[in-house]
A and B are shown apart, each in its own frame.
Chain A
Amino acid sequence: MAIEVGGKTLETDEEGYLVNLADWTEDVANAIAKAENVDMSGNHWEVVNFLREYYNEYQIAPAVRVLTKAIGKKLGPDKGNSKYLYELFPYGPAKQACKIAGLPKPTGCV
């Protein structure tokens, strides 16, 4: 599979995750979000950027439980809870936000 962004064709896997992490740009994120019916707000970007930083540091996409805890630590308890994160990313903060962030699917997600 593939997506088209700004005239470029980017390869994705069968679930829509980018194959090459280096292909990611903010425009790519917006395009993936649009396809997922997610309207990117500042709060969405906060989570997406957090995920990218986490991946840079640890070379994995975090499990949802780990993400929730880490967000709470960094952005406060009103954001570090599943309700808040699922409202932003209805198909799962780990799965859907990782896709928009251009990361592989979190290890252990099926």
Chain B
Amino acid sequence: MTEAAMDLEAEAAGVVKKFMYVNRKAPYGTIYALEGLEVVLISAAFDQDVSLAFLDDGVYQLVKGQQTKGIEVKNFSPTYRALEGYDIEKLYVERESLEARGLTADQLLVPVEVMGRDELVRRMEEQDVVIAF
């Protein structure tokens, strides 16, 4: 059993742990972003303290206006807006990654908390479990 699975089992005993999912990949070139999002949705059932971090190319997952008809791939960007209904409200975006890509928070499709690298690293270090995609 992986460490993450054991941590999920600990929830059965009523222990709430801090889980952070780290998203570092752009949405369609690889399957990581979609798979990561599905894991987050599934894990929401375990009532843990979940946060999502978007850094490096992961910030591209949240860009408004994605239209995937032409590449015949499912556009999963609207699903990020469903996270709130799953009680996943801690979305952290690294400021340096946004700036390097010429993006601003108002160009993203969900409300997020933009923070500098140092602050993001500090939050990462507070976690019980960090899972990266």
Contact = CB atoms under 8 A, between A and B. Distances in A.
Asked whether the complex places CB atoms of A and B closer than 8 A, the reply is yes
Contacts of A66: 44, 82, 85-86
Contacts of A3: none
Nearest to B81: A58
A62 to B, nearest CB: 7
B76 interface: yes
Band of interface residues on B: 10 to 19
B42 interface: yes
Contacts of A65: 45
Interface residues of A, number: 12
B42 A60 contact: no
Given A63-B86, A66-B86, A107-B38, A57 B81 contact: yes
Contact of B79 (A59, A69, A108): A59
Contact of A63 (B45, B76, B78, B79): B45
A60 B41 contact: yes
Nearest to A60: B79
B86 A59 contact: no
Contacts of B44: 63, 66
A58 B78 contact: yes
Nearest to A65: B45
B64 to A, nearest CB: 15
29 contacts: A57-B78, A57-B81, A57-B82, A58-B78, A58-B79, A58-B81, A58-B82, A59-B74, A59-B75, A59-B76, A59-B78, A60-B41, A60-B79, A60-B82, A62-B82, A62-B85, A63-B41, A63-B44, A63-B86, A65-B45, A66-B44, A66-B82, A66-B85, A66-B86, A69-B85, A107-B41, A107-B42, A108-B38, A108-B41
Interface of A: 57-60, 62-63, 65-66, 69-70, 107-108
Given A66-B44, A107-B42, 16 more contacts: A57-B78, A57-B82, A58-B79, A60-B79, A62-B82, A63-B41, A63-B44, A63-B45, A63-B86, A66-B85, A70-B85, A107-B41, A108-B38, A108-B41, A108-B42, A108-B45
